[in-house]
């Protein structure tokens, strides 16, 4: 009965062993799994010719499998060598940065050699130091000032959470309600800053640091206050610097003209930046520029997110850090150059899309965006249009 049942369904593999063989034939994973067998004794033997053919096929398969394994081994070896090479070059770069460049920062930072090394990405272990030096401290913020701002922020949090009325009114003009909304929003946003990393969330190791920097900043610059997007900038700095130094870098970074224009949401100035960007866009990528124009895709659609968060939200974090590296070296111009580099990299895809798909694509860039290709693309972007340079 059972036998008949089986025979009635020819699609079912007749025996597990043959099934294994079939799979092997399809994709031999290892030569050791290949076994050439004669037919079971209860079946008539293969004709010599067929046996010969099978032997030949078997040998071919073994050769193929060996070849594949060899190739795989070579690939792995190459990968390993590549990794060693990268590690070695990072190691060398760390030595160069620590022993040669950092001690002689003032004289060396703008030299050709340093600029080239800089472009290749600053090693993570010295990144924070280099960023701090490059961003500078025009505002002369001291660790003490940070402590004062932080203490004031903490006082506010306390009075806010106990529902106490406003005791101090030194920042007249910024209503208590506004400030409360700001404090509340900071709390909400901290938990939404790089949630995948699980380090800034409540209970995470960097939660308090992020909270401190954003809170201290709203006390330091009540005229700017907290603006969404800031939490990402502060978070990237925290990943590379101590709290007080991150605060100093944060405040100075936001004090740059481009960042001030955006974080104050100065619409007029933002439009000026977008207009300047479009000049270089048309110059560098005329075809894509025309396509964007035709579809009414204006730069604000994608630049607002990119500029506000300095790419930390839209690019993979390690790649964003490399953009920050060169941004620290070249200033705001590089932010717009990066934008053009991204547009150029995806020019072919974008020209085939309509408005909404382009908008979707640009506000959610591919997660596996390759660093080297992006940097190669950025390198080809000229920020000198006719006789105009990028200067606001």
Partner 1 sequence: MAQAHRTPQPRAVPSQPRAFKLVLLGSGSVGKSSLALRYVKNDFKNILPTVGCAFFTKVVDVGTASLKLEIWDTAGQEKYHSVCHLYFRGANAALLVYDITSKDSFLKAQQWLKDLEKELHPEEVLVMLVGNKTDLSEEREVTFQEGKEFAESQKLLFMETSAKLNYQVSEVFSAVAQELLQRDDREDQAPQEDAAVALNEGPARQAKCCAH
**Which residues sit at the interface with partner 1, rule CB under 8 A?**
181, 185, 188-189, 191-193, 195, 225, 227-229, 231, 265, 267, 270, 295-296, 298, 300-302, 304-305, 308-309, 313, 354-357, 359-360, 363-364
Give the closest residue to 339 by CA, choosing from 372, 381, 376. 381
Dihedral in degrees, nearest 10, Cα atoms 210, 253, 281, 318: -40
Nearer to partner 1 by C-beta: 183 or 244? 183
Q: How far apart are CA 358 and CA 278, in angstroms?
A: 17
Q: How far apart are CA 306 and CA 295, in angstroms?
A: 20
Nearer to partner 1 by C-beta: 84 or 181? 181
Q: How far apart are CA 308 and CA 229, in angstroms?
A: 6
Rounded least distance, CB 7 to partner 1, Å:
46
| Helix ranges restricted to H, 96-196 | 105-108, 112-119, 124-135, 143-161, 176-190
Rounded least distance, CB 121 to partner 1, Å:
25
Residue 384's H or E segment, with its range, is strand 384-385
Rounded least distance, CB 357 to partner 1, Å:
8
* Three-state secondary-structure class, residue 389: strand
Residues 58 and 21: beta-carbon distance below 8 Å: no
Residue 175: phi, psi to the nearest 5? -65, 155
Nearer to partner 1 by C-beta: 134 or 297? 297
Nearer to partner 1 by C-beta: 227 or 383? 227
Q: How far apart are CA 234 and CA 308, in angstroms?
A: 12
Rounded least distance, CB 154 to partner 1, Å:
23
Nearer to partner 1 by C-beta: 146 or 200? 200
Residue 295: phi, psi to the nearest 5? -95, 10
Nearer to partner 1 by C-beta: 208 or 300? 300
Nearer to partner 1 by C-beta: 90 or 304? 304
Q: How far apart are CA 325 and CA 97, in angstroms?
A: 13
């Amino acid at each position: 009965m059972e036998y008949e049942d089986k025979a009635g369904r020819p699609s079912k593999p007749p025996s597990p062993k043959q099934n294994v063989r079939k799979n092997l034939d399809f994709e031999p994973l290892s030569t050791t799994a290949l076994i050439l067998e004669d037919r079971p004794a209860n079946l008539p033997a293969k004709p010599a010719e067929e046996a010969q053919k099978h032997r030949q096929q078997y040998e071919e398969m073994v050769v193929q499998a060996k070849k594949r394994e060899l190739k795989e081994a070579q690939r792995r070896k190459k990968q390993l060598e590549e990794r060693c090479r990268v590690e070695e070059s990072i190691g060398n770069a760390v030595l160069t940065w620590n022993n040669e460049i950092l001690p002689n920062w003032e004289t060396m930072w703008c030299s050709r050699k340093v600029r080239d090394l800089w472009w290749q990405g600053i090693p993570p272990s010295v990144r924070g130091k280099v960023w701090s030096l490059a961003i500078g401290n025009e505002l002369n913020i001291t660790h003490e000032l940070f402590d004062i701002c932080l203490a004031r922020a903490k006082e506010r949090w306390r009075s806010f959470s106990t529902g106490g009325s406003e005791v101090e009114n030194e920042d007249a003009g910024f209503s208590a309600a506004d400030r409360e909304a700001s404090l509340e929003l900071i709390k909400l946003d901290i938990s939404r800053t790089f949630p995948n990393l699980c380090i800034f969330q409540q209970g995470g190791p960097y939660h308090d640091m992020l909270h401190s920097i954003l809170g201290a900043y709203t006390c330091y610059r009540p005229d700017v206050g907290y603006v969404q997007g800031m939490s990402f900038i502060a978070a990237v700095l925290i990943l590379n610097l101590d709290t007080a130094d991150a605060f100093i870098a944060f405040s100075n970074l936001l004090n740059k003209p481009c960042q001030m224009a955006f974080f104050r949401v100065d619409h007029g100035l933002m439009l000026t930046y977008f207009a300047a960007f479009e000049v270089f866009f048309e110059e560098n990528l005329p075809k894509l520029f025309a396509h964007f124009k035709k579809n009414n895709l204006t730069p604000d659609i994608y630049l607002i997110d990119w500029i506000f968060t300095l790419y930390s939200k839209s690019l993979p974090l390690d790649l964003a850090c490399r953009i920050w590296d060169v941004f620290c070296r070249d200033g705001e111009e590089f932010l717009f150059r990066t934008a053009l580099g991204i547009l150029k990299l995806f020019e072919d895809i974008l020209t085939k899309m309509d408005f909404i798909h382009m908008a979707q694509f640009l506000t959610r860039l591919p997660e596996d965006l390759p660093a080297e290709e992006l940097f190669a693309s950025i390198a080809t972007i000229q920020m000198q249009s006719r006789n105009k340079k990028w200067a606001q």
